[in-house]
Structures are given as structure tokens and as C-alpha cells.
Amino acid sequence: MRRDGFAPGRTLGLVAATSLAALTTFIRPRLLTWGASSDEVARAYPGDELVPNADGSSTMATTLPAPPAEVWPWLVQMGCNRGGWYSWDRLDNGGHPSAERIVRAWQSPEVGQRLDAVPCGEAWFTVAVLDPQRTLVLRSALTLPFGHPFDPLAGSEPGAYVDSIWGFHLDPAAGGRTRLVVRTRSRSRPRLLTRPMDVLFWEPAHLVMQTRQFRNLRMRLSARA
């Protein structure tokens, strides 16, 4: 400490604490509810019950320029080694472009089916809820830190893990459009490790990827129209 009482380390700590408080109080809630109305955020959706004691959640939404019957085929063909994720392909689809057309062979998913999360197929989402033209919920359960899948229904949990859902919910909107609400819920352990990663990395990353997906779905539907 300098003789004048100025402590650089203490000042930096105060700035960091203030910035973190601003992030969690003002910015983070907006990141987690991008595009969604207060009613959509408060609403319960199919699949929420799969992660009953969630310690992380987000609700994002957009309006797409086509009815649910035309949006649904794009959603059910998602997955690596299938239609992709319509987001930043270099980051989540191994650099392969997401599909620009509807592929008939990918139009009949089933509950319990695995959809590759990465091109190598070593991690996947499982189709957990399927209500045609209304609801598609994907579930992923991974051990930490290496990301190996495990069965969340087996009755025992690893010491370090994340169990999450990614739900797509479609409602008809005026003018032949669709209101698409995307709900995520997750539970992870140990929270001492996973909470900072959620706040500082995973939640901002999800915002970036999800809004990109919204944009690309909108472009594909507009092109077909």
C-alpha cells in the first residue's frame, strides 16, 4: 500500500465487484429474456418438469414470417450430421453449412432419438418431448469437465455434471406467422464451479448462438415465401 492510502489491488477489486453486480442485476436478466414478453417468461412450457430444480434458465423469443406448419420442418431436422443448427456453423456444426432446404429423410424424429451435438457424434441431444408443430424439447446430460454423456434417468448423478433442456415452442401469430419461444433450463454441480462459467461464458454464448439461429430461420422462411 502506498503512503497516501491508495491500494491498486483493492481498487481493482472494487471495480470488478461493481461491474459484476451491474452485470447480474441489470444486464443478465435482459440477456436471459431476449425478445420474450413478460407473459412468455412467466409461462410454464412442456419439458420444464424434466429439470425440476433448475439453477439456470432462459426464455428467448422471436416472430417468424410463416405459420407453425412451415417452421416445424426446419426444427425437426436440426442436428449435426443432419440439418445443422442454423447458427454460427463454424462454432457448432464443425464448419459445415446448415441446411438451406427441407430434407424428407430428417422429418420423422422420435422421442428418445439422439441428435448429434458435435460432428464426431461423441455428444448428443436426446429428443425428450415431441408434439408436432407445437413443441420440440431436446435434452443433454454431460459429465464435467470432459463432456461425456450420461443417462439422467438412471437414478444416480455424477459428482460434476450439467443436465439441461433446450425447448422450442411454437404458437400461431397474426398474419400467418409463428411466435417461436425457446426455453432452456439446467441443473449443474458443483455450483461453485459452474455458476461463474454460466454467468461469464455460457449465458452470453447462448444469446449469441440463439439470436443467430433466429435470424437464419427467418431468412430461410422468407426465402421460401
Q: What is the pLDDT of residues 149-164, one digit of tens each?
A: 999 998 888 999 999 9
Question: Is the bond into 145 cis (omega within 30 degrees of 0)?
Answer: yes
Statement: residue 80 has pLDDT above 60: yes
Q: What percent of the chain has pLDDT over 70?
A: 88
Summary mean pLDDT of the chain: 91
pLDDT at position 156 is: 86
Statement: residue 102 has pLDDT above 80: yes
Please give the average per-residue pLDDT across 103-119, as a whole number.
Answer: 97
Name the nearest CA neighbour of 212 among 94, 84, 28. 84
- Say how far apart CA 215 and CA 208 lie, in whole Å: 11
182-225 pLDDT per residue, tens: 999 999 999 999 999 999 999 999 999 999 999 999 999 999 76
State phi, psi for 40 to the nearest 5 degrees.
Answer: -65, -35
11-62 pLDDT per residue, tens: 655 555 555 555 555 588 889 999 999 999 999 999 999 999 999 999 999 9
Name the nearest CA neighbour of 134 among 185, 179, 82. 179
Domains for the chain: give ranges and CATH numbers.
10-224 (3.30.530.20)
> Cβ-count burial of 74 within 10 angstroms (0-12 exposed, 13-18 middle, 19+ buried)?
buried
The three cell numbers locating residue 23: 452485470
3-state DSSP assignment of residue 56: strand
The three cell numbers locating residue 195: 455458476
Return the higher-pLDDT residue of 27 and 7.
27
